[in-house]
Amino acid sequence: MLTLLKLLKDGRFHSGEALGAALGVSRSAVWKQLQHLEAELNLPIHKVRGKGYQLASPLVFLNAENIALNAPSLEWPIHISDSIDSTNTEGLRLADSGCPAPFLVLAEQQTAGRGRRGRKWVSPYAQNVYYSLVLRIESGLRQLEGLSLVVGLAVMRALRESGVQGAALKWPNDVLVGQKKIAGILLELVGDPADICHVVIGIGINVNMRRADEVDQQWTSVQLETGSPVDRNGLVAQLSMQLQGYLDRHKAGGFVSLQEEWEQNHAWQGRAVSLIAGVNQVDGVVLGVDHQGALRLSVDGVEKIYSGGELTLRLRDDS
């Protein structure tokens, strides 16, 4: 199927006869493989009598050399998989097997992509960015403070550089355009954070996705926002350069050095919100974040601090 996909990636029409000849199979076998492509990879294919078959839009595959050309100062080794359960999981496997960090894991498709609280992250083939950076942290509890918020700043800047001017942050792990989610962040840690540990920075960005029936919340993509397809290699390079810069600033000055910048770009700053933890709900107004990246809320006129991976923040007027 992937050989067939590479024949179609230019977005032009190809006859069933020509595809069959290139693959050494019959036209009916080509037809069956095309049906599998549509069903398994969620790639719409146009079929026109007399012309043949055409991908609804051209595909550009992820390429480490292309990424390196666009990010010449980047020194992270890049591992690219065609299809994988999850880039975060692969990052943890590689770290466990002795692969020296930092390194970057990318995939064209995830079969078990996940977000916060175990939610499924919809990961169609060759449409989005599924990105995991594995870092080794030694005696660095300070390096973990506010880390997901720092990553959010890097993602937001990369999106703005790619033409999504309305990209903004939502505490603690999302990047929004208006009320629609365009990117999410999932950090996973293994080892002893007080000694030596590895942290996997997982980032998912909706890039060229235009349909996703499985997504159960409002979403958008870079292509939907800008009106044209995006070169994912260029976006990965831009994201990596932004992330490298923000991680250096965070390492040098801690989250406090980035706190004000984060608050200035928080989409819900000053908004009335509900903070939900299981069956419990707290209503308040967003004041900002503290030096560790925890949420500061005004609750009945009293400032309170909240942090934790199981918290959900919603606008109070959001039905």
Neighbour tally for 40: CB within 10 Å: 12
Is 110 a known ligand-binding residue?
yes
Per-residue tokens: 84 = 């994988």
The average confidence (pLDDT) of the chain is 90
Q: What is the DSSP letter of 266?
A: B
Which residue among 180, 181, 296, 316 is the active-site one?
A: 181
Q: Which residues, in sequence order, are CB contacts of 139 under 8 Å at separation 6+?
A: 194, 195, 196
Is 119 a known ligand-binding residue?
no
- Identify which of 89, 127, 121 has the alpha carbon closest to the alpha carbon of residue 108: 127
Pairing of strands 103-110, 78-84: parallel
Is 86 a known ligand-binding residue?
yes
Is 116 a known ligand-binding residue?
yes
Which residue among 116, 157, 170, 232 is the active-site one?
A: 116
Alpha helices in 62-114 (DSSP H): 64-70, 87-96
Is 226 a known ligand-binding residue?
no
Least confident of 73-82, 205-214, 233-242: 205-214
Active site residue 120: no
Query: For 64-72, what is the mean pLDDT?
Result: 95
pLDDT digits 0-9 by tens, 19-57: 999 999 998 999 998 988 887 777 778 989 889 999 887
Active site residue 314: yes
pLDDT at 269: 96
Which residue among 9, 160, 271, 314 is the active-site one?
A: 314
pLDDT at 139: 67
Active site residue 232: no
User: Peptide bond preceding 100: is omega within 30 degrees of 0, i.e. cis?
Assistant: no
Is 181 a known ligand-binding residue?
yes
